[in-house]
Structure 1
Amino acid sequence: MPFSLWLSLAAVCAMGAMSPGPSLAMVLRHTLGGGRMPGVSAALAHALGVGFYALLTVWGLGAVIVRLPMLFQVITWAGAAYLAWLGVRALMAGRGGALNATGSATSRSQAAREGMLVALANPKLILFFIALLSQFVTPEMSLEAKALVVGTAMVIDAGWYVLVAVGLSHSRVLPWLQARAHWLNRLTGVLLLALALRVVVGPLG
Structure 2
Amino acid sequence: MLLSSWLSVAGICALGAMSPGPSLAVVMNNTVNHGRKAGILTAVGHGLGVTAYAAATALGLAVIIAQSPVIFDVIRYLGAAFLLFIAYKTFVSTQQGQDQNSPQAEPTRNTKAPGFVSGLMIALLNPKMAIFFLALFSQFVQVDAGLGDKLILAFTAGTIDTLWYLLVAWGLATPKILSWLSLHQKKINQLFALVIALLAATIILN
TM-score, normalized by length of structure 1? 0.61
Would you say how many aligned residue pairs link Structure 1 and Structure 2?
A: 139
What residue number does 2:126 align with?
122
Runs (5+) with no aligned partner, structure 2? 68-89, 94-108, 181-206
What residue number does 1:80 align with?
none
Q: Distance in 2 between matches of 1:102 and 1:109?
A: 15
The structure with more radius of gyration:
2
What residue number does 2:23 align with?
23
What residue number does 2:204 align with?
none
User: Percentage identity across aligned positions?
Assistant: 45
8 Å CA contact retained: 2:22, 2:122: yes
Per-residue deviation at 1:3? 1.1
Greater Cα shift, 156-165 or 138-147: 138-147
Instruction: Show CA shifts across 1:83-124 (max 9, x none).
Output: xxxxxxxxxxxxxxxxxx999544465111111110111112
Q: Distance in 1 between matches of 2:40 and 2:92?
A: 15
Alignment root-mean-square deviation, CA: 2.7
Instruction: Show CA shifts across 1:117-149 (max 9, x none).
Output: 101111122222122222122211012211110
1:153 to 2:157 alignment: yes
1:4 to 2:8 alignment: no
Per-residue deviation at 1:170? 2.2
1:138 to 2:142 alignment: yes
Q: In structure 2, do the counterparts of structure 1 residues 131 and 143 end up closer, same or farther at CA, with 3 Å as the change threshold?
A: same
Q: Distance in 2 between matches of 1:9 and 1:56?
A: 16
* SS in structure 2 of the partner of residue 158 of structure 1: helix
Amino acid at match of 1:121: L
Amino acid at match of 1:2: L
Q: Distance in 2 between matches of 1:13 and 1:152?
A: 8
Q: Distance in 2 between matches of 1:41 and 1:4?
A: 32
Instruction: Show CA shifts across 1:32-82 (max 9, x none).
Output: 0111110000000111111111011111189x8xxxxxxxxxx9xxxxxxx
TM-score, normalized by length of structure 2? 0.61
89, 93, 117: which one pairs with 1:113?
117
8 Å CA contact retained: 1:23, 1:118: yes
What residue number does 1:187 align with?
none
1:57 to 2:61 alignment: no
1:33 to 2:33 alignment: yes
Q: In structure 2, do the counterparts of structure 1 residues 32 and 7 end up closer, same or farther at CA, with 3 Å as the change threshold?
A: same
1:165 to 2:190 alignment: no
